[in-house]
Amino acid sequence: MTTVLKLGGSVVTAKDEPETVDADALAAAADALADATDASNDADVVLVHGGGSFGHPHAAEHGVSPTAGTHDAGAVREIHGAMRRLNERVCAALGERGVPAVPHHPHSAGYVDGDETLALPPDGVGAKLDEGFLPVLHGDVVTHVGAGATVVSGDDLVVTLARGLDADRVGVCSTVPGVLDDGGDVIPEITAYADVADVLGGSDSTDVTGGMAGKVRALLALDAPVSLFGPDALAAFLAGDEPGTLVD
């Protein structure tokens, strides 16, 4: 049973304060992971976290996004360095609780190829799982053929990893409790984009890494069931429940 879990950048950082971890939220998430895994990650969890207040400000400053690249190596080092600092904090919080977290940096592990596809070989992540480590990936700046380097979002990584590892379950934990309908209620299940086109069609956020509409489309294309939920439901998801919105 392989689970790919994403923690949104806004879950683990104070999104409006540069390079600031939300210590309480990170501790709560790390506690939930420590309860659900063991010292050799027998649950085969792969964690991906977003950039929050670490990656986004640097990316915005240099005008780098998933579609706008840079050939400025200094910009690459700065964005990647900020993401590594957040990744170190996340890994340390997990490590303190006995979770065998080790970093897996997308900047080194992959790149966007000439077909605009994220090439990130799953065997490196799989080898970490097989050896009992819990790999922790993150939104990052990666080489992009023809464009220098662009941002790869945590959501892109989740999709690539779920497919590459043939994951059994996917969880996307953000600050909202699921996909919301017009009345603000959580939609319990989405099986086709047409079901939610009215609600999501015009609601793309300004997040450079894409809004809910694109996210739902990409997640629907996966074989694995995907749960979208808020931080309070993380423990339930890791215990096997399907909180929030189920996309399958």
Pick one of 15, 56, 62, 144: the residue that binds a copy of itself (CB under 8 A): 144
In angstroms, the Cα distances linking 71 to 66, 76, 108 are 14, 8, 16
DSSP secondary structure, 57-72, as one string: HHHHHTT--SSS-B--
Burial of residue 215, with CB atoms counted within 10 A of its CB: 0-12 exposed, 13-18 middle, 19 or more buried: buried
* Residue nearer to a copy of itself on the CB measure, 109 or 228: 109
Candidates 21-29, 108-116, 172-180, 217-225: pick the segment binding a copy of itself (CB under 8 A).
108-116
Is 121 a binder of a copy of itself (CB under 8 A)?
yes
Is 97 a binder of a copy of itself (CB under 8 A)?
no
For 224-245, letters b (16+ CB in 10 Å) and e give bbbbbbbbebbbebbeeebbbb
Candidates 113-121, 182-190, 201-209, 230-238: pick the segment binding a copy of itself (CB under 8 A).
113-121
* Residue nearer to a copy of itself on the CB measure, 76 or 228: 76
Count of residues that interact with a copy of itself, criterion CB under 8 A: 45
Reduced DSSP (H G I as helix, E B as strand, rest coil) percent helix, strand, coil of the chain, to 5:
40, 20, 40
Residues 102, 99: Cα–Cα separation, whole Å: 9
Q: How far is the CB of 183 from a copy of itself (least distance, A)?
A: 44
Pick one of 12, 36, 76, 172: the residue that binds a copy of itself (CB under 8 A): 76
Q: Shortest CA distance to 134 belongs to which of 231, 29, 215, 230? A: 29
- Residue 158 · residue 122 · CB < 8 Å: no
CB 77: neighbour CB atoms within 10 A?
13
Q: How far is the CB of 142 from a copy of itself (least distance, A)?
A: 9
* Residue nearer to a copy of itself on the CB measure, 20 or 143: 143
Residues annotated within the binding site for ATP are: 6-10, 52, 211, 215
Residues annotated within the binding site are: 6-10, 51-52, 56, 154, 211, 215
Q: How far is the CB of 198 from a copy of itself (least distance, A)?
A: 41
Is 175 a binder of a copy of itself (CB under 8 A)?
no
* Residue nearer to a copy of itself on the CB measure, 114 or 202: 114
* Residue nearer to a copy of itself on the CB measure, 163 or 217: 163
Q: Any idea which residue has 């294309």 for tokens?
A: 221
Q: Shortest CA distance to 158 belongs to which of 123, 207, 120, 206? A: 120
Binding site for a copy of itself (CB under 8 A): 40, 71, 73-74, 76-77, 80-81, 84, 88, 91-92, 95, 99-111, 113, 119, 121, 123-124, 127-128, 130-134, 143-149
